[in-house]
């Protein structure tokens, strides 16, 4: 019965295809931007015209307005079908499967045409004699080359939602690292490249970076797929000419085989040494790529996701935040990936410090989107101790780690932190970084191995949030091995709630062992816009992953999530004997939340496809809402006078083996938040 109703609707909707108005205006290209309305000018990225003034023309990413195209394609009568019971029934069966269309709209679109939503914009762009270089169907975008008059013509089209330059993306510039986050408690080496415990076995991890040194023995037999989007070499040329991607991948997935075979007194395996590796090369041998290459990489990963069981992607690169995450094309690609059940971990960036001054507001894109798990960097101070070492020092925020709030949207970022100081991982010999920083190569003899010398090195030391993000990525792979049913939102909640809050140095040492530290006025936690909820706790996160429902992806808000009636929110670290107290909280736009129901009760934020935003509702009696983590008076006083303009973050600011801060002039600070948050 229902099937016959659907067939009738299909025939009816096909009859409507020609009823629309064609979509958009018939744009005679304006001679200048002066002819555009305020609404049309708002479609242009703030830095676009400066680039065109300087270069004359540029590659741009044009994002379509899917609602305008939908309305023009299906017509008025087609839109009326959104309330038809048969359409609603079919929509419930398949869910929302077209980006930014409702499930009902997706059903009607598919009954109307087999074309992608971007097709109408492609037609309009072609009518303006512009060549479409690439389309990004998943986010309804395309890449083309324009001058100023072309931009004016595009902005006049109703089908166009936003236009931004195809910006360059760059890197945000171990044993001790593993011990600090506690991976030694969940994974045990039993041979040169064999392990027991949680290892990430069967989980696919995609690394969007500069490629991989494929011959490194630490990755042998686990490279599942490769693709090159850098424009340097063929599509299967994953060679890491820069050296960054190999180091990042080793922190996630290295087996440590080289260090084991060569007799090191410690081994340098990654957090998840048995995951399958998917290599998406987007950076060339100089460490530079483009926004469009990252978007293409994410689309490819989603296309092969099921084949390789890819559950998480790592992006340790970025650009300054030139627009809101809601229009930033790279952020939109990340949001689309998360909506399609791919967890995306990003580096916060290395823009946290300049000439002795802390900088705020410099979280890099795509880490500014709430869809991503954004990771800042901590400094382990050379010890396994997380709390107070012999000099009464705690692990601290690395001075270079980018701080929130995010430009344009004022969101809390990072989400958490992980060690990013002097991390030892796999080396890509003869790469740009290996040759530029020979002193960062790890001499085997320093760790009791052989042969000695930098020329025989298999590992290298680097620092930065680029090194912090892969530690979280690896931890997530272990969590997914423990509980494959976890959704992106559930994973984000568990890594945040199990993280250890770091306190200022003048706080009492008892704060680190007090489960109720929130109620102790002597416990001054570092601000959320600096550390998120705190320092990555791998054994705590994997423990929680195993305690919550093994059918998490099937639950509804309000359902019981925790299998055990009660658990203690602490982790005992075997290597140091420390008791690590969890943060027990989450932090996002406008408020923070603390309480047992974060992990005991399934929440709206954990549903498949859910992106954390201001409209989230929370269920449970055991919850406490905290002060605004960005705009409460105390926090605002900390960052408002050193909030940096994104436009001054275009210089080379890399943290690679050493520290070089080569800004293009001085950062431009704003003394008032009104410059970036006019709505607040």
166, 209, 240, 528: the catalytic one is: 209
Q: Rounded distance, CA 130 to CA 293, Å?
A: 20
In this prediction, residue 222 carries a pLDDT of: 95
Closest CA to 315 of 298, 302, 335, 332: 298
pLDDT above 70: residue 658: no
Contact 246, 207 (CB under 8 A): no
Return mean pLDDT, the chain: 84
**Across the strands, what pairs with 150?**
none
Provide the percentage of residues in the chain whose pLDDT is more than 70: 84
Pairing of strands 57-64, 141-147: antiparallel
Average pLDDT of the residues in 468-486? 97
Provide the percentage of residues in the chain whose pLDDT is more than 90: 47
Q: Rounded distance, CA 42 to CA 564, Å?
A: 51
Q: Rounded distance, CA 239 to CA 226, Å?
A: 10
In this prediction, residue 667 carries a pLDDT of: 56
In this prediction, residue 310 carries a pLDDT of: 98
**Sequential DSSP letters for 199-260:** --TT-EEEEEES-B-TT-GGGTT-EEEEEE-SSSS-TT--B-SSSHHHHHHHHHH---HHHH
Average pLDDT of the residues in 619-645? 82
Q: Is 244 a catalytic residue?
A: yes
Q: Is 209 a catalytic residue?
A: yes
Using CA atoms, how far residue 232 sits from 31, 206, 413, 651, 653, in Å, is: 37, 20, 33, 23, 23
Instruction: Give kind and range of the element (H or E) at residue 632.
Output: none
Using the Cα atoms of residue 34, residue 38, residue 43 and residue 48 in order, give the sign of their dihedral.
Answer: positive
Tens-place pLDDT, residues 157-192: 999 999 999 998 876 543 444 455 666 677 776 777
Q: What are the extents of the domains in the chain?
A: 2-166, 175-626
- Grouping H, G, I as helix, E, B as strand and the rest as coil, residue 293 is helix
- Grouping H, G, I as helix, E, B as strand and the rest as coil, residue 288 is strand
301 φ/ψ angles, rounded to the nearest 5 degrees: -60, -40
In this prediction, residue 670 carries a pLDDT of: 54
Average pLDDT of the residues in 205-217? 96
Closest CA to 12 of 89, 85, 83, 74: 74
Average pLDDT of the residues in 404-421? 90
* Measured CA angle at 569 (ends 564, 573), to 5 deg: 115
140, 216, 244, 380: the catalytic one is: 244
Tokens of 73: 């394609």
Tens-place pLDDT, residues 266-287: 889 999 999 999 999 999 998 8
Tokens of 376: 């800042």
In this prediction, residue 665 carries a pLDDT of: 47
The C-alpha R_g of the chain, in whole angstroms, comes to: 25
**DSSP code for 148:** H
Tokens of 309: 């069981």
pLDDT above 50: residue 87: yes
Tokens of 660: 């070089």
Tens-place pLDDT, residues 283-307: 999 888 999 999 999 999 999 999 9
The model's confidence at residue 653, banded by pLDDT at 50, 70 and 90, is very low
In this prediction, residue 379 carries a pLDDT of: 80
CATH T-level assignment (fold) for domain 175-626: Rossmann fold (3.40.50)
In this prediction, residue 224 carries a pLDDT of: 97
466, 583, 642, 648: the catalytic one is: 466
Helix, strand, coil percent values for the chain (each to nearest 5): 35, 20, 45
Tokens of 113: 């045409």
**Sequential DSSP letters for 24-74:** S---PPPSSGGGS-HHHHTTB-TTHHHHHHHHSEEEEEEEE-HHHHHHHHH
658 φ/ψ angles, rounded to the nearest 5 degrees: -130, -165
For residue 192, count other CB atoms closer than 10 A to its CB: 14
Prediction pTM value: 0.89
Most confident of 26-35, 151-160, 578-587, 640-649: 151-160
Average pLDDT of the residues in 231-258? 95
Instruction: Give kind and range of the element (H or E) at residue 470.
Output: helix 465-482
For residue 451, count other CB atoms closer than 10 A to its CB: 11
In this prediction, residue 318 carries a pLDDT of: 87
pLDDT above 80: residue 519: yes
The model's confidence at residue 669, banded by pLDDT at 50, 70 and 90, is low
Q: Rounded distance, CA 88 to CA 93, Å?
A: 9
Instruction: Give kind and range of the element (H or E) at residue 75.
Output: helix 66-80
The CATH number of 2-166 is 3.30.70.80
Q: Is 126 a catalytic residue?
A: no
Instruction: Give kind and range of the element (H or E) at residue 275.
Output: none
The model's confidence at residue 382, banded by pLDDT at 50, 70 and 90, is low
Instruction: Give kind and range of the element (H or E) at residue 449.
Output: none
pLDDT above 60: residue 656: no
Q: Rounded distance, CA 402 to CA 655, Å?
A: 12
pLDDT above 60: residue 201: yes
pLDDT above 80: residue 456: yes
Tens-place pLDDT, residues 331-359: 999 999 999 999 999 999 988 877 777 88
Instruction: Give kind and range of the element (H or E) at residue 298.
Output: helix 291-303
In this prediction, residue 631 carries a pLDDT of: 82
């Amino acid at each position: 019965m229902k099937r016959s109703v659907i067939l009738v609707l299909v025939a009816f909707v096909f009859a409507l295809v020609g009823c629309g108005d064609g979509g958009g205006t018939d744009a005679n290209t304006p001679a200048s931007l002066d002819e555009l309305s305020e609404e049309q000018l708002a479609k242009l990225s703030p830095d676009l015209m400066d680039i065109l003034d300087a270069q004359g023309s540029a590659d741009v990413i044009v994002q379509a307005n899917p609602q305008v195209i939908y309305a023009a394609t299906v017509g008025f009568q087609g839109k009326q079908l959104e309330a038809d019971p048969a359409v609603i029934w079919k929509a419930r069966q398949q869910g929302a499967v077209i980006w930014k269309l409702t499930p009902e709209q997706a059903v009607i679109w598919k009954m109307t045409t087999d074309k992608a939503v971007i097709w109408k914009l492609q037609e309009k762009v072609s009518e303006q004699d512009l060549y479409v270089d690439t389309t990004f169907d998943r986010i309804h975008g395309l890449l083309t080359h324009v001058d100023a008059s072309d931009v004016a013509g595009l902005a006049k089209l109703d089908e166009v939602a936003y236009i931004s330059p195809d910006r360059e993306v760059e890197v945000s510039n171990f044993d001790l690292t593993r011990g600090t986050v506690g991976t030694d408690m969940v994974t045990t080496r039993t041979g040169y490249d064999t392990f027991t415990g949680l290892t990430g076995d069967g989980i696919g991890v995609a690394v969007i970076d500069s490629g991989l040194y494929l011959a490194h023995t630490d990755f042998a037999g686990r490279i599942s797929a490769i693709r090159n989007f850098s424009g340097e070499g063929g599509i299967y040329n994953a060679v890491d000419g820069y050296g960054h991607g190999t180091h990042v991948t080793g922190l996630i997935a290295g087996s440590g085989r080289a260090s084991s075979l060569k007799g090191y007194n410690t081994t340098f395996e990654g957090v998840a040494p048995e995951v399958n590796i998917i290599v998406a090369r987007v950076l060339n041998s100089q460490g530079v790529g483009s926004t469009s290459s990252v978007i293409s990489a994410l689309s490819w990963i989603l296309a092969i996701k099921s084949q390789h069981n890819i559950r998480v992607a790592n992006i340790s690169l970025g650009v300054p935040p030139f627009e809101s995450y809601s229009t930033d094309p790279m952020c939109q690609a990340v949001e689309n990936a998360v909506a399609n059940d791919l967890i995306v971990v990003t580096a916060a960036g290395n823009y946290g410090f300049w000439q002795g001054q802390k900088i705020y507001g410099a979280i890099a894109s795509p880490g500014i989107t709430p869809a991503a798990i954004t990771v800042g960097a901590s400094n382990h101070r050379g010890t396994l101790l997380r709390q107070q070492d012999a000099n009464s020092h705690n692990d601290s925020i690395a001075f270079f780690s980018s701080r929130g709030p995010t430009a344009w949207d004022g969101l809390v970022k990072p989400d958490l932190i992980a060690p990013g100081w002097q991390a030892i991982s796999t080396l890509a010999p003869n790469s740009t970084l290996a040759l530029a920083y020979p002193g960062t190569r790890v001499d085997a003899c320093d760790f009791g191995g052989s042969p000695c010398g930098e020329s025989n090195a298999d590992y290298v030391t680097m620092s930065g949030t680029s090194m912090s993000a892969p530690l979280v990525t690896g931890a997530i792979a272990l969590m997914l091995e423990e509980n494959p049913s976890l959704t992106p939102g559930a994973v984000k909640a568990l890594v945040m709630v199990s993280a250890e809050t770091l306190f200022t140095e003048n706080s009492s040492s008892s704060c680190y062992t007090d489960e109720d530290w929130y109620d102790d006025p002597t416990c001054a936690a570092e601000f959320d816009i600096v550390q998120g909820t705190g320092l990555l706790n791998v054994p705590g996160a994997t423990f929680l992953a195993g305690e919550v429902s093994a059918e998490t992806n099937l639950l509804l808000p309000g359902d019981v999530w925790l299998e055990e009636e009660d658990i203690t929110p602490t982790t005992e670290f075997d290597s140091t004997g420390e008791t690590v107290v969890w943060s027990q909280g989450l932090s996002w736009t406008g408020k923070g939340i603390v309480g047992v129901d974060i992990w005991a009760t399934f929440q709206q934020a954990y549903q498949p496809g859910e992106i954390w935003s201001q409209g989230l509702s929370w269920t449970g009696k055991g919850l406490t809402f905290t002060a605004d983590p960005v705009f409460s008076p105390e926090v605002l006083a900390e960052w408002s006078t050193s909030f940096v303009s994104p436009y001054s973050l275009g210089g080379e600011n890399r943290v690679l083996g050493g520290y070089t801060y080569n800004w293009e002039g001085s950062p431009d600070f704003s003394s008032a938040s009104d410059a970036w948050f006019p709505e607040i």
